[in-house]
Amino acid sequence: WEQAMRGFDEMKRWGLHPSVETFQALINVCNQSGNWDVAMEILTLMQINHVPPGVATYNELIQTCVMEDDLDRGLGLIQEMKTAGIEPDATTYKALEKLCLSAGRMEHAREFKRLAQARSFQRWKKEDKPIENHAWRNWE
């Protein structure tokens, strides 16, 4: 993670602007190396660099909370997402379900599981194209 952070600093020295993907990669490296506090600090770095986090960034940070077993922080992140107008997806809810199960909050875990299933179904329905859009319909 230290090498990744040095690379980030070098990038800034060269005048390059980090992207959302750059920050997500940093969070991922911190997660893999067990530097969860640093992973959380990257959200602040994003704000300083005027890079708005998206759902994938928050999912990565909530995954940090899962590894840290930090339910309060995970719930705080979903609240922050909603305040920022970022819609949680099935991955978000599955991670929160896991956090709640770990904390023994079964009722909350069931609710997050229900929300994850609903999000998965919505995505599937969006990808389901009406029959009129299929190429074979134009063969008439």
**70-86 confidence digits (pLDDT tens):** 999 999 999 999 999 99
In angstroms, the CA 129 to CA 96 distance is 31
User: Tens of pLDDT along 50-61?
Assistant: 999 999 999 999
> Which letter, b or e, does each residue of 109-119 get, where b requires 16 or more Cβ atoms within 10 Å of its Cβ?
beebbebbeeb
pLDDT average, residue stretch 18-41: 88
Split at pLDDT 50, 70, 90, the class of 130 is very low
Quote the pTM value: 0.77
In angstroms, the CA 106 to CA 18 distance is 39
pLDDT averaged over the chain?
A: 83
